[in-house]
Structure 1
Amino acid sequence: MDLDFTGKTVLVVGGSSGIGNGVAHGFRQRGAQVHVWGTRPSAADYDGIEGSDLEGLGYAKVDVGVREEIAAAPAIEPLDVLVLCQGTVQYRRAEFEPAGWDRVMAVNLDSLMDCARKFRSTLAARKGVIIIVSSVSGYTSNRGNPAYAASKAGAVSLTKTLGEAWAPEGIRVVGLAPGLVDTKLTKVTTEHPERLEGALRSIPLGRMGTPQDMAGAALLLASPLAGYVVGQTLIVDGGLSL
Structure 2
Amino acid sequence: MNELDFSGRQVLVVGGSSGIGNGIAQAFRANGARVQVCGTRAAAADYSPAEGSHLEGLDYAQLDVGDASAIENFKPSFERLDVLVLAQGAVIYRRGEFEMAGFRSVLEVNLISLMACATRFHALLKTAKGSLIIVSSTAAYHSTKGNPAYNASKNGAVGLTRTLGQAWAEDGIRVNGIAPGLVDTKMTRVTTSNPKRLEGAIERIPLKRLGTPADMAGAALFLASPLASYIVGQTLVVDGGLIL
Common topology (TM > 0.5): yes
In the alignment, which residue of structure 2 is the partner of 1:45?
46
After TM superposition, the structure 1 stretch with the greater mean CA deviation from structure 2, 229-238 or 70-79, is: 70-79
Is 1:120 aligned to 2:118, yes or no?
A: no
Q: Which amino acid aligns with 2:16?
A: G
CA distance in 2, matches of 1:33, 1:49: 24
Runs of 5+ consecutive residues of structure 2 not aligned to the other structure: none
Q: Which amino acid aligns with 1:82?
A: L
CA distance in 2, matches of 1:42, 1:233: 32
* Other structure's SS at 1:111 match: helix
In the alignment, which residue of structure 2 is the partner of 1:236?
238
CA distance in 1, matches of 2:49, 2:7: 29
CA distance in 1, matches of 2:69, 2:63: 10
In the alignment, which residue of structure 1 is the partner of 2:34?
33
**RMSD of aligned residue pairs (Cα, Å):** 0.7
Aligned length: 242
Q: Which amino acid aligns with 1:25?
A: Q
In the alignment, which residue of structure 1 is the partner of 2:112?
110
In the alignment, which residue of structure 1 is the partner of 2:180?
178
* Cα deviation 1:184-209 (Å, max 9, x = unaligned): 11001000000000000100000000
Percent identity at matched positions? Answer: 64
CA distance in 2, matches of 1:157, 1:57: 30
In the alignment, which residue of structure 2 is the partner of 1:73?
74
* Other structure's SS at 2:60 match: strand
In the alignment, which residue of structure 2 is the partner of 1:196?
198
CA distance in 2, matches of 1:230, 1:42: 35
Is 1:218 aligned to 2:220, yes or no?
A: yes
CA distance in 1, matches of 2:189, 2:71: 28
Cα drift, residue 142 of structure 1: 0.6
In the alignment, which residue of structure 2 is the partner of 1:101?
103
Cα drift, residue 12 of structure 1: 0.2
Cα drift, residue 98 of structure 1: 1.0
Q: Which amino acid aligns with 2:13?
A: V
* Other structure's SS at 1:234 match: strand
CA distance in 1, matches of 2:114, 2:214: 22
The one of 133, 139, 163 equivalent to 1:131 is 133
- When normalised by structure 1's length, the TM-score is 0.99
* Cα deviation 1:99-131 (Å, max 9, x = unaligned): 110110000000000000000010000000000
Is 1:17 aligned to 2:18, yes or no?
A: yes
CA distance in 2, matches of 1:77, 1:215: 24
Runs of 5+ consecutive residues of structure 1 not aligned to the other structure: none
After TM superposition, the structure 1 stretch with the greater mean CA deviation from structure 2, 78-87 or 47-56, is: 47-56
Cα drift, residue 47 of structure 1: 3.1
* Other structure's SS at 2:4 match: coil
Q: Which amino acid aligns with 1:35?
A: Q
Which residues in structure 2 correspond to 1:55-74 (within 5 Å)?
55-74=56-75
Cα drift, residue 48 of structure 1: 4.5
In the alignment, which residue of structure 2 is the partner of 1:158?
160
